[in-house]
Amino acid sequence: MASTTPYTVRWGIMATGWIAEVFTKDLLTNPAVRSVHDVRHEVAAAASSSSASRAADFLRQVKAPATTKAYGSYHELVADPDIDIIYVATPHSHHFQNAMLALEAGKNVLCEKALTVTAGQARKLVETAREKGVFFMEAVWTRYFPLSIQVRDLISSGAIGNVYRTIADLSVGRDAPDGKVDFADSNRMVNPELAGGALLDLGIYALTWVFQSLYHVQPEAEKEAPTVVAAVNKYHTGADETTSIIVQFPKHRSQGIAMTSLRVASDVDEQGTSGAAIRIQGSTGEIQVIGPAYCPLQYRVIRKDGGGKAEVVDCPIPKDAEREGWGQGMFWEADECARCLRDGRKESKSLPWSESVVIMEVMEETLRQGGVVYPEVISTDVYDAQSPLNTGKRKPAPEAEAEAYERTHVHGVYEAIAPHFSATRYKPWPAVGSFLHSQAPGTIGLDVGCGNGKYLGVNPGVFMVGSDRSHSLIALARSRCQQLQAQPSDPAGARTGGEAAAGTVVTDVLVADGLSLPFRPRAADFVICVAVIHHMSTRPRRQEAIRQLLQCVTLGEAGRTGGQVLVYVWALEQGTSRRGWDDGGEQDLLVPWVLKSQQKKQKTKKGAKDQGAGVGIPSSADGSATPADDSGATITDPVFQRYYHLYRKGELEEDVLAAGGVVISSGYERDNWWVVAANDPGHHGHRDAGS
């Protein structure tokens, strides 16, 4: 007699970004809502590569049980004996190293799509899974939709005759007026360092329909890998922006056309007006799949002898009313994993290892024909348990690479997020405000790294010039300056610093590099530099930035200290904060910023059928705003990785001394170390002699 107790699978979630959130919420829905009674799921643990507190925040967000464990590293997650299977939800640039970490630990693995960056990596994962005797599957969730299963069954049954051609497209219209697309160069969609490009992120879904309609349904004894002809338009970052692939199965006389683009959309108005993006064409009929390729909810069967009528089949996604109406369709692939584990199967019949490898071979050949090349760290098939992709800790870059690295992970990020970032930065910190109010009327000050200019005008009695590397932030700061100039002085400013001439705040801003400041040496009475220097990626660059600040202020004389510099940086010691970083932890980190989209749901016409509204394209983005490790619209919220050096206690003072300064005072406030510094008269007197 068969057991009536459902088979339970305990999941470990690797990464805490948007796609991990969607998947985990689906795991926690009631299986009975989707008429599943033989398997069930538990979330045993989740891990962030940066901190346990971030994992804990994630678990609260998804409303996981209080007993669920939160880990601050992937190594801890894969070592947990209470986990049956690991869900790898990191960016696809990280999949090979992350999945290998779990497989080597003897864990079963469900790894997000695209499975890897290269076919060689995919083969290595399959070999390792086979050697370890564990279950392994690529998480192409669309494959496990009841709709997909029905379509495959129709093809196999000959419902539309012999299938000779499939045309599939998944594209998003993100063309921008300046000739670019509206993703920052640092965004994972176009960033080669994250295996960016249309193909691996979107095109995998177009290929999914080509393969499950033309390759998967081939008899096992007649399986035929396709030939590949591709056309690729490269973006200026080196990633692919528009890609079209023709795959041919000569023995079966069939062809597939898979298309993807970042410039034109499959569904132009996001209301389904454009028609079917997937057409499966047979000798006696056609199946049209309606809705985005990753989450279709309807298909139509058109037959030659159908009398001009189409059979329309709706396949809605069940929602769990007890979990706020949640349900996005990712639970079906989890159910498949559970059944495979229960039955002792190491691979899924719906997406065997060999098919994942062949698909990766097609994508690899496409990228080769298009001249798209990815960095060695993400394309190597040599496993490294301590790879930065596994630890989340960036190895310090050589000096020659530092500027390029900062362009991607600092300057490019702030250009892209400037308005969103500015909206969260409007209230001056009390200690910085006190420092500004302590300056005498008529003095001259600089705000290096002024951002949106929130500190300009705090003391209307002083003349201030702000600078920032970001053109976008300076545009916002300039607008603020104009507003300040147009309003009367704040009486509080008069009490603490006096009024500026003509009753206005006297201030200005300009674009400038903090390592090459354009200001006349020794001309300023004071300088503030708040949350800037921790973005310099090497210690020599951080010390040079401080030296540049010191060079701007006046020298002391006759026993007087001279101009003062106030510097704030993020502290390593944040044990009581939500971030959870603390003494002994990694100091060089990539910290995600999620740019929340205004298009969280697809627009639908009033009364029209919901074609996946509210479901973003699952990628594996490991990102977060406040972040998650990382992220509905037809695309996930953009995630930007910002570089930070977290200063340990005493390190900022050391850098001041190395830069030729003296420490006047220092302290800790709101997870930041700060220092007030001035020039060392002896040091600078020696340097300036003969100049």
Is 415 within a domain? no
Q: What's the whole-number mean pLDDT along residues 663-689?
A: 76
Q: Provide the whole-model pTM.
A: 0.65
CATH code, domain carrying 439: 3.40.50.150
Is 410 within a domain? no
Is 613 within a domain? no
How many helices, marked H, and strands, marked E, lie in the chain? 20, 23
Residue 691: its pLDDT value, please? 27
Local confidence band at 216 (pLDDT 50, 70, 90 cut-offs): very high
CA nearest to 668, candidates 570, 590, 598, 596 = 570
3-state secondary structure 140-170: CHHHHCHHHHHHHHHHHCCCCCCEEEEEEEE
Local confidence band at 425 (pLDDT 50, 70, 90 cut-offs): low
Give the residue with greater pLDDT, 354 vs 491: 354
pLDDT of residue 630 exceeding 80, the answer is: no
Is 589 within a domain? no
Same domain, 101 and 194: no
Residue 272: its pLDDT value, please? 87
Q: Which of 51-55, 181-185, 436-440 has the highest mean pLDDT?
A: 436-440
Same domain, 103 and 203: no
Residue 590: its pLDDT value, please? 87
Same domain, 552 and 654: yes
Same domain, 112 and 150: no
Mean pLDDT check: name the lowest of 46-60, 216-230, 389-403, 565-579. Answer: 389-403
pLDDT of residue 29 exceeding 60, the answer is: yes
Residue 574: its pLDDT value, please? 86
Q: What's the whole-number mean pLDDT along residues 43-56?
A: 92
Same domain, 124 and 193: no
CA nearest to 532, candidates 450, 434, 454, 466 = 450
pLDDT of residue 313 exceeding 90, the answer is: yes
Same domain, 79 and 98: yes
Same domain, 86 and 208: no
Residue type at position 316:
P
pLDDT of residue 538 exceeding 80, the answer is: yes
Residue 488: its pLDDT value, please? 61
Calpha distance 291→611 (Å, rounded): 5
Domain enclosing residue 229, as ranges: 143-327+364-379
Is 623 within a domain? no
pLDDT of residue 620 exceeding 90, the answer is: no
Using only C-alpha atoms, what is the Rg of the chain?
29
Residue 184: its pLDDT value, please? 83
Q: What's the whole-number mean pLDDT along residues 108-131?
A: 98
Residue 183: its pLDDT value, please? 85
Describe the strand order of the beta sheet including 7-14 as a list of residue ranges: 69-71, 39-47, 7-14, 85-88, 108-112, 136-139
Q: Which helix (H) or strand (E) holds 244?
A: strand 240-249
Q: What's the whole-number mean pLDDT along residues 146-165?
A: 98
Calpha distance 661→655 (Å, rounded): 9
Neighbouring-strand partners of residue 281: 165, 286
CA nearest to 121, candidates 152, 96, 153, 148 = 96
Q: What's the whole-number mean pLDDT along residues 442-446?
A: 95
Residue 2: its pLDDT value, please? 57
Calpha distance 456→161 (Å, rounded): 72
Angle (CA) 106-110-113 rounded to 5° is 135
Same domain, 204 and 191: yes
Which pLDDT tens digit goes with each residue over 365-412? 999 999 999 999 999 999 999 998 998 776 555 665 888 889 889 999
Local confidence band at 495 (pLDDT 50, 70, 90 cut-offs): very low
Local confidence band at 606 (pLDDT 50, 70, 90 cut-offs): very low
Is 615 within a domain? no
Calpha distance 170→287 (Å, rounded): 17
Residues sharing a CB contact under 8 Å with residue 72, sequence separation 6 or more, in sequence order: 47, 48, 50, 51, 52, 53, 54, 55, 580
Residue 394: its pLDDT value, please? 61
Q: Which helix (H) or strand (E) holds 509?
A: strand 507-511
One DSSP character per residue, 341-381 reads HHHT-SS-SSS-HHHHHHHHHHHHHHHHHHT----HHHH--
Local confidence band at 616 (pLDDT 50, 70, 90 cut-offs): very low
Same domain, 71 and 160: no
Q: What's the whole-number mean pLDDT along residues 323-347?
A: 97
Mean pLDDT check: name the lowest of 136-140, 389-393, 602-606. Answer: 602-606
pLDDT of residue 571 exceeding 50, the answer is: yes
Residue 581: its pLDDT value, please? 80
Calpha distance 552→465 (Å, rounded): 12
Residue type at position 335:
D
Same domain, 48 and 177: no
Same domain, 193 and 274: yes
Number of structural domains (the chain) is 3
Q: What's the whole-number mean pLDDT along residues 11-37?
A: 96
Local confidence band at 655 (pLDDT 50, 70, 90 cut-offs): very high
Residue 53: its pLDDT value, please? 87
pLDDT of residue 604 exceeding 50, the answer is: no
Same domain, 36 and 57: yes
CATH code, domain carrying 215: 3.30.360.10
Whole-number mean pLDDT of the chain? Answer: 87
Residue 558: its pLDDT value, please? 53
Which pLDDT tens digit goes with each residue over 234-249? 999 999 999 999 999 9
CATH code, domain carrying 47: 3.40.50.720
Is 69 within a domain? yes
CA nearest to 514, candidates 448, 434, 600, 606 = 448
Residue 622: its pLDDT value, please? 30
Share of the chain above pLDDT 90, in %: 72
Is 387 within a domain? no
Neighbouring-strand partners of residue 663: 677
pLDDT of residue 673 exceeding 90, the answer is: yes
CB 593 within 8 Å of CB 419: no
